[in-house]
């Protein structure tokens, strides 16, 4: 009698007359798989196993709590050393020079745009800004590994993904200025980008709300059999929201092809991770929800690329969610409304800026491989700055949209009460026009 | 068909005609705790009619995501009382999805169904009528049907409307209300109130179960006071049909609004203030609001809490005696 037959026989005898055939089959499978994969010896000579529907495991007869402090942390995967050398040949993504140069240029162009827009906010020219310093590698590495048609749900610090996909400097600037060319029609704060054309869902301020939405979109993609997946970015602070829990659980239970990409940069505004969670970061939670999980060095653009590429394959082929936690460091302030020196040391920031930066690491790789040199660097820096300044000046000089746009798109069509309120606004502004900044807006009358 | 069967019938039509449509929520796969989804999983498959984990914020946001991807999402919240964990997703996300993206993205394919209203013994968390909370949110539609024919036609309109809709189903009517509901596909327009019986002396406005209470009140007023009441079912709370109510009040000069939800901040306040400014010269008496009291919805005191026909009748007397 084979192992399988013996187990089937035992179960059958025990449950005879009490259980349906369906249940017996389930139990047999259950026992077999447990026996095949369990590394612990049986704990009872009667070979009794728990039959609780809520879990699949075995009994133990000694009380033992699982102590998270005695479990090793999930390791951080790297492909590229700080010196720009590939650590293991098998992990070299072997990207062609053109792709690597685009990666580098996008990271540095984003960095240049960040510096100029940050300064412009300091000068009061735009109302708000959030930089991406130190996290450019997570954006570009992940974006490069996706299909351009994969849907992106982001938080707000993922502008590099859009840059990789071809969102133009003009489009970034137009959004920050809320001018008449802004696709978002000037309704949201700066850095709340979105692009249907680039499959980048419009950013919203409430944290983590996009996470279960991403799972839902992935479910619809699975049903549409379009061969695409969804990627959802969020910070380690947002992962504390209830929506993060809902997202992980729904995605796992409903088999959604979604990549959850956590940017763990050590801080949520002023809150360090020690005040954010007590477990082993975010990655350790993935396993609890039944998701394949990996932790990567977020300052290593190739490690991020490799992880997302594999995750994407898993998502699309197996219809299941994957969690990636990219370890990085938020080099800039949280936003232009924040002075981070109030809660962390300049030395700490400087270490990450100078010693372990995604841009310099990739540059080392490129120099090692003769893709790049000092001369190219100088020329590109100059060009990037010029391109950004040109877009910036143009965006600043464009008018804001017609104030009537305030009422559109609340619903698909303008309902009667909003039509009336729009007319009321127009009549009022007409009467008191010297009190409203009409000169900055597209013609209302 | 009774009320819950008319809901099933509407859902059946949608699943059949729209291959992207899915239905999900807590316990919907076996037919739902109110039997509204019975048989649908067997007919359309478990990928289209499925249980979700027990998380209202997850249910609504999962639905937003499905709708944002271009499919039709019909989400069920088991009781309207439990819709509040999803408030952020409804308010900050679903309602503003189209607006904030400059109409690049929308979640118009989302409909949220939730049983609401008093049921006799539902106490604090199985009786609530939360429509007024949602009436303050630009970007969504809020609908409450009064019976099976309305329920099917309005639900089909909600599901096919290009905006996120919340559809509150008065749960006391699930089994008690029975009508000859057409088997075929039909829609009843949103944002249109319905004048159920014409009258000349007082306008009565309600929605959901309260329409039936007001119908009794109209009969009592006719019999006992010889007062002719015009009865209006508002049907859509947001955006609501100001014109139909105003037109009626211009004629009658008197208005009574009744709802189960508490008085303060209830939707009757919105109707009363709007009608007061639209019909100031026609009003012959102060607008009356007969509502639940400003307390949580109590268990054993439910008969005293409700805006029943006697409380409404007394308000009619006040209006005509003013």
Q: What pLDDT shows up at residue A48?
A: 82
Domain B3-176 fold is Rossmann fold (3.40.50)
Report the relative pairing of strands B255-262 and B202-206 from DSSP bridges.
parallel
Q: Is A25 a residue whose pLDDT tops 80?
A: no
Q: Which residues, other chains included, contact A345 with Cβ-Cβ below 8 Å and sequence gap of 6+?
A: none
CB B142 within 8 A of CB B165: yes
Give residue-wise pLDDT tens across range A291-339. 999 999 999 999 999 999 999 999 999 999 999 999 999 999 999 999 9
> Is B194-320 the same fold as B3-176?
yes
Give residue-wise pLDDT tens across range B188-228. 999 999 999 999 999 999 999 999 999 999 999 999 999 99
Contact A216 B93 (CB under 8 A): no
Give residue-wise pLDDT tens across range B52-111. 999 999 999 999 999 999 999 999 999 999 999 999 999 999 999 999 999 999 999 999
Q: Which domains does chain A have, with CATH numbers?
A: 74-397 (3.40.50.970), 403-440 (no CATH)
CB B239 within 8 A of CB A417: yes
Among chain A residues, CA nearest to B102: A184
- A127 carries an active-site annotation: no
In chain B, pLDDT over 70 holds for what percent of residues? 100
CA distance A215 to B63: 9
- For the residues B31-51, what does the mean pLDDT come to? 98
Q: Is A372 a residue whose pLDDT tops 90?
A: yes
- What is the CATH number assigned to the segment(s) B194-320? 3.40.50.920
Q: Is B289 a residue whose pLDDT tops 60?
A: yes
Considering only A10-24, A139-153, B105-119, B298-312, which range has the smallest mean pLDDT? A10-24
Residues 191-220 of B with CB under 8 A from A: 191
Pick from A202, A243, A253: CB nearest B101: A202
Nearest to A437 by CA among A400, A406, A409: A400
Helix (H) or strand (E) holding A151: strand A151-153
Chain A residue numbers with beta carbons less than 8 Å from the beta carbon of B20 are 220, 223-224
- For the residues A129-133, what does the mean pLDDT come to? 96
Smallest CA–CA distance, residue A2 to chain B, in Å, is 36
- What is the domain partition of chain B in residue ranges? 3-176, 194-320
CA distance A261 to A294: 10
Interface residue of B101, B107, B140, B165 to substitute, partner A, most A CBs within 10 Å: B101
CA distance A341 to A334: 11
- Give A69's pLDDT tier (boundaries 50, 70, 90): confident
Q: Is A290 on the interface with B (CB under 8 A)?
A: no
Q: Is A182 on the interface with B (CB under 8 A)?
A: yes
- For the residues A215-239, what does the mean pLDDT come to? 98
- Give B296's pLDDT tier (boundaries 50, 70, 90): very high
CB A11 within 8 A of CB A24: yes
Annotated catalytic residue, options B76, B93, B126, B131: B126
Smallest CA–CA distance, residue B272 to chain A, in Å, is 16
Nearest to B128 by CA among B303, B292, B308: B292
In this structure, what token pair is assigned to residue B235?
């049907």
Residues 163-182 of B with CB under 8 A from A: 163
Q: Is A274 a residue whose pLDDT tops 90?
A: yes
Pick from A216, A243, A418: CB nearest B57: A243
Residues 115-144 of B with CB under 8 A from A: 138-139, 141
In this structure, what token pair is assigned to residue B129?
């009528």
Interface residue of B62, B73, B90, B135 to substitute, partner A, most A CBs within 10 Å: B62
CB A160 within 8 A of CB A107: yes
Considering only A17-31, A188-202, A274-288, which range has the smallest mean pLDDT? A17-31
CA distance A129 to A117: 7
Q: Is A38 a residue whose pLDDT tops 80?
A: no
Q: Is A11 a residue whose pLDDT tops 50?
A: no
Q: Is A17 a residue whose pLDDT tops 70?
A: no
Q: How many CB atoms lie within 10 A of CB A443?
A: 8
Report the relative pairing of strands B255-262 and B229-233 from DSSP bridges.
unpaired
In chain A, pLDDT over 90 holds for what percent of residues? 87
Residues 374-413 of A with CB under 8 A from B: 408-412
Q: Is B253 a residue whose pLDDT tops 90?
A: yes
A–B CB contacts, 8 A cutoff, strictly below:
154
SS3 of residue B248 by DSSP: helix
Q: Is B242 on the interface with A (CB under 8 A)?
A: yes
Count, residues in chain A: 445
CA distance A63 to A61: 7
- Give A71's pLDDT tier (boundaries 50, 70, 90): confident
Whole-Å CA distances, A209 to A95, A243, B57, B87, B319: 35, 6, 9, 11, 48
CA atoms within 13 A on the CB side of B63: 38
CA distance A243 to A229: 20
- B121 carries an active-site annotation: no
Give strand ranges (E) for chain B.
22-25, 49-51, 73-76, 110-116, 141-143, 165-170, 194-197, 202-206, 229-233, 236-238, 255-262, 288-292
What is the rounded average pLDDT for all residues in chain A? 91
Q: What pLDDT shows up at residue B140?
A: 98
Q: What pLDDT shows up at residue A89?
A: 96
- Give A41's pLDDT tier (boundaries 50, 70, 90): low
Distance of CA A310 to the CA centre of its chain: 16
Q: Is A15 a residue whose pLDDT tops 50?
A: no
Interface residue of A167, A179, A192, A220 to substitute, partner B, most B CBs within 10 Å: A220
Q: What pLDDT shows up at residue B95?
A: 98
- For the residues B153-165, what does the mean pLDDT come to? 98
Interface residue of B29, B58, B164, B236 to substitute, partner A, most A CBs within 10 Å: B58
- For the residues A70-95, what does the mean pLDDT come to? 95
Q: Is A187 on the interface with B (CB under 8 A)?
A: yes
Using omega within 30 degrees of 0 as the cis cutoff, is the peptide bond preceding B239 cis?
yes
Q: What pLDDT shows up at residue A70?
A: 86
- B26 carries an active-site annotation: no
Smallest CA–CA distance, residue A373 to chain B, in Å, is 41
Report the relative pairing of strands B229-233 and B194-197 from DSSP bridges.
antiparallel
Chain B residue numbers with beta carbons less than 8 Å from the beta carbon of A183 are 101-102, 104
Give residue-wise pLDDT tens across range B146-157. 999 999 999 999
């Amino acid at each position: 009698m084979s192992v399988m037959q013996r187990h089937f026989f035992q179960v059958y005898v025990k449950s005879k007359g009490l259980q349906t055939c369906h249940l017996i089959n389930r139990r047999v499978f259950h026992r077999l798989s447990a026996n095949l994969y369990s590394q612990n010896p049986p704990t009872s000579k009667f070979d009794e196993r728990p039959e609780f529907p809520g879990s699949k495991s075995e009994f133990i007869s000694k009380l033992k709590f699982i102590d998270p402090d005695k479990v090793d942390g999930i390791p951080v995967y790297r492909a590229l050393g700080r010196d720009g050398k590939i650590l293991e040949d098998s992990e070299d993504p072997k990207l062609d020079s053109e792709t690597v140069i685009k990666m580098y240029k996008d990271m540095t162009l984003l960095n240049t745009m960040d510096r100029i827009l940050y300064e412009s906010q300091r000068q009061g020219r735009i109302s708000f800004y959030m930089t991406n310093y130190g996290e450019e590698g997570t954006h570009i590495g992940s974006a490069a590994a996706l299909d351009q048609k994969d849907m992106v749900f982001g938080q707000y610090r993922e502008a590099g993904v859009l840059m990789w996909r071809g969102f133009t400097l003009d489009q970034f600037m137009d959004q920050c200025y809320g001018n008449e060319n802004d696709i978002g029609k000037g309704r949201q704060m700066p850095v709340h980008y979105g692009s249907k054309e680039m499959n980048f869902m419009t950013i919203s301020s409430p944290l983590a709300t996009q996470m279960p939405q991403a799972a839902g979109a992935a479910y619809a993609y699975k049903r549409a059999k379009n061969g695409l997946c969804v990627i959802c970015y969020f910070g380690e602070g947002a992962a504390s929201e209830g929506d993060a829990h809902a997202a992980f659980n729904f995605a796992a239970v409903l088999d959604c092809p979604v990549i959850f990409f956590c940017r763990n940069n050590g801080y949520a505004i002023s809150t360090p991770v020690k005040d954010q969670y007590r477990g082993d970061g975010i990655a350790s939670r993935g396993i609890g929800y039944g998701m394949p999980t990996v932790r990567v060095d977020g300052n290593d653009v190739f490690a991020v690329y490799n992880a997302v590429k594999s995750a994407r394959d898993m998502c699309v082929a197996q219809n299941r969610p994957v969690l990636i936690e990219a370890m990085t460091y938020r080099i800039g302030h949280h936003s232009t409304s924040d002075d981070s020196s109030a809660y962390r040391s300049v030395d700490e920031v400087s270490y990450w800026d100078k010693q372990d930066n995604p841009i310099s690491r990739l540059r080392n790789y490129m120099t090692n491989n003769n893709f790049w040199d000092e001369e190219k660097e100088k020329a590109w820096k100059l060009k990037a700055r010029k391109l950004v300044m040109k877009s910036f000046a143009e965006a600043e000089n464009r008018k804001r949209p017609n104030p009537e746009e305030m009422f559109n798109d609340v619903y698909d069509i303008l309902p009667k009460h909003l039509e009336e309120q729009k007319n009321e606004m127009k009549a009022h502004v007409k009467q008191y026009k010297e009190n409203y900044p009409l000169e900055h807006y597209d013609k209302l009358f | 068909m009774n009320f819950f069967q008319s809901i099933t019938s509407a859902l059946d039509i949608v699943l059949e005609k729209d291959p992207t449509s899915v239905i999900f929520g807590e316990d919907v796969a076996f037919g739902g705790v109110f039997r509204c989804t019975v048989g649908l999983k067997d007919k359309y498959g478990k990928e289209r009619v499925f249980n979700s984990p027990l998380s209202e914020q997850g249910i609504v946001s999962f639905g937003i995501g499905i709708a944002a991807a271009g499919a039709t999402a019909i989400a069920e919240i088991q009781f309207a009382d439990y819709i509040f964990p999803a408030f952020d997703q409804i308010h900050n996300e679903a309602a503003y999805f189209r607006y904030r993206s400059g109409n690049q993205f929308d979640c118009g394919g989302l409909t949220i169904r939730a049983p609401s209203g008093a049921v006799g013994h539902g106490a604090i968390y199985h009786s609530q009528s939360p429509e007024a909370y949602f009436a303050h949110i630009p970007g969504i539609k809020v609908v409450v049907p009064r019976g099976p024919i309305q329920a099917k036609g309005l639900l089909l309109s909600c599901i096919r409307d290009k905006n996120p809709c919340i559809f509150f189903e008065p749960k006391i009517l699930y089994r008690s209300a029975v009508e000859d509901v057409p088997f075929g596909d039909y829609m009843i327009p949103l944002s249109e109130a319905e004048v159920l019986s014409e009258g000349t002396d007082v306008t009565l406005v309600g929605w959901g179960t309260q329409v039936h209470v007001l119908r009794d009140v109209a009969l009592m007023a006719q019999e006992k006071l010889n007062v002719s009441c015009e009865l209006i079912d508002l049907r859509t709370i947001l955006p609501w049909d100001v014109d139909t109510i105003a037109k009626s009040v211009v004629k009658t000069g008197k208005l009574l609004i009744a709802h189960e939800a508490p008085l303060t901040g209830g939707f009757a306040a919105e109707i009363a203030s709007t009608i007061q400014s639209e019909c100031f010269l026609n009003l012959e008496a102060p607008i009356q609001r007969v509502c639940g009291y400003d307390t949580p919805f109590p268990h054993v005191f439910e008969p005293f809490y409700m805006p029943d026909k006697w409380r409404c009748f007394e308000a009619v007397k006040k209006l005509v005696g003013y």
